[in-house]
């Protein structure tokens, strides 16, 4: 199956791409995809930016990383256990704040 991953803001910089298509096993989950991104594309569990420490993943759970599948937050689906299917777009956003 093929899944498109899009990185936004400094997640894009961390990964080294804005958009990339990945070929995955048919039963792959969001957690499997994040593991590939961590092991091969520089997605870090923790990082410091402008004096603030961000924790994207902690104890196998999302913390400061927003993951959308075709515009739906995975927290409203099955979280990291959400199964991916062919043709989906997975968008990765850092924590955002306005003001």
pLDDT single digits (tens) 30-43:
999 998 998 898 88
- Cα dihedral value 11, 93, 96, 60, nearest 10: -90
3-state secondary structure of 2: strand
Find the radius of gyration of the CA atoms of the chain. Answer: 13
- Grade residue 65 by pLDDT with cuts at 50, 70 and 90: confident
pTM: 0.86
How far out from the chain centre does Cα 96 lie?
Answer: 15
- What structural domains does the chain harbor? 2-93 (3.10.20.30)
């Amino acid at each position: 199956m093929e899944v498109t991953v899009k990185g936004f803001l400094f997640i894009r910089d961390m990964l080294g791409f804005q958009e990339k298509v990945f070929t995955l096993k048919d039963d792959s989950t969001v957690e499997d995809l994040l593991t590939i991104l961590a092991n091969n594309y520089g997605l870090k569990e923790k990082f410091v930016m402008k004096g603030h420490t961000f924790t994207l993943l902690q104890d196998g759970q999302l913390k400061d990383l927003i993951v959308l599948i075709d515009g739906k937050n995975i927290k409203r689906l099955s979280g990291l256990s959400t199964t991916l299917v062919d043709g989906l777009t997975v968008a990765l956003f850092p924590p955002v704040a306005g003001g």
